Amino acid sequence: MTQRMATDNIARQEDKARGRAAYWRFVPVAVILAGLAFGYLMGWQRYLSLDFLAESRDWLSAFVAAHPVAAPLGFAVLYTLAVAFSFPAASVLTVFAGFLFGWLAGGLIVAVAATAGATALFLACRSAVGDVLKKGVGGRAAQLAEGFERDAFSYLLVLRLAPVFPFFVVNIAPAFCAVPLRTYVAATFLGILPGTFAYAYLGHGLGSVLEAAAESGTRVQLADLVTPQITLAFAALAAVALLATVLRRLRAGRRPGS
């Protein structure tokens, strides 16, 4: 009888420990949601706009010139936090980077910071949901999850190259499919490079646009800067990456014994 009571007590303790572990899994996601809500309540989204850049461009440029090391480091931290907390301002901040640091330095800063922020968000979501599509559902959804995991680098690279889905959605989706961390980081960094440098280049030449807008009393929108040619270039890059994936699959399917 005593042994049975001891066994039951151990089982209860294990259940409590598992319950606490399950609870703590959701803490990173809760922190991200709370941070996002707090940022909007504080009105910080106003500072992540081209209007703010137009109003503060002289001050920001002077600050960067006076702090050649602290300014890019601070911007990288800001960009990382914005991505990690899913503020929808990645494109605008990339334009900021090009305007303040030049297209090359700005693009490199953004590529590293965006990858770091996306990775933090990915890890937070993965700790909460795990490979839920493989364990929690069956049928076609499970097959898609397994296919994504099997060729995760190519799939994720295509999603990064073609800005069809919002940046934060692509940051989160692989967490549901047990994509390896190394694969996620590599595909994210390489996949965002074309778009990053394109938007940084737009920012590099934004000064004259902002001056003209100020003289005419008009507002500059991000949509005014993104030309159809840039959009088509992104789509072409994604098509090339997708074609490579399809051809690799076809060759694998034709191998003897496959």
For 31-79, what is each residue's pLDDT tens digit? 888 888 888 888 888 888 888 888 888 899 999 999 999 999 999 999 9
Longest dimension (CA), the chain: 89
The single residue listed with the structure tokens 């994210």 is 188
**Inter-residue contact 171 to 91 (CB < 8 Å):** no
The pLDDT score that the predictor gives to residue 39 is 87
Which residues contact residue 216 at a Cβ distance below 8 angstroms, ignoring those fewer than 6 apart? none
247 CA to centre of own chain: 28
257 CA to centre of own chain: 40
Which residues contact residue 13 at a Cβ distance below 8 angstroms, ignoring those fewer than 6 apart? none
120 CA to centre of own chain: 9
For residues 156 and 173, what is the distance between their CA atoms, to the nearest angstrom?
Answer: 10
At 116, is the secondary structure helix, strand, or coil? helix
The pLDDT score that the predictor gives to residue 258 is 44
The pLDDT score that the predictor gives to residue 19 is 47
**Inter-residue contact 116 to 222 (CB < 8 Å):** no
Q: Identify the segments of the chain with pLDDT beneath 50.
A: 6, 11, 14-15, 17, 19, 133, 256-258
- Please name the residue ranges forming H helices in the chain: 2-25, 27-41, 50-66, 70-84, 90-101, 103-129, 132-135, 139-150, 152-161, 167-172, 181-204, 206-216, 222-225, 228-253
Of 141, 211, 216, 138, which is closest to residue 173 (Cα–Cα)? 141
194 CA to centre of own chain: 14
For residues 97 and 196, what is the distance between their CA atoms, to the nearest angstrom?
Answer: 10
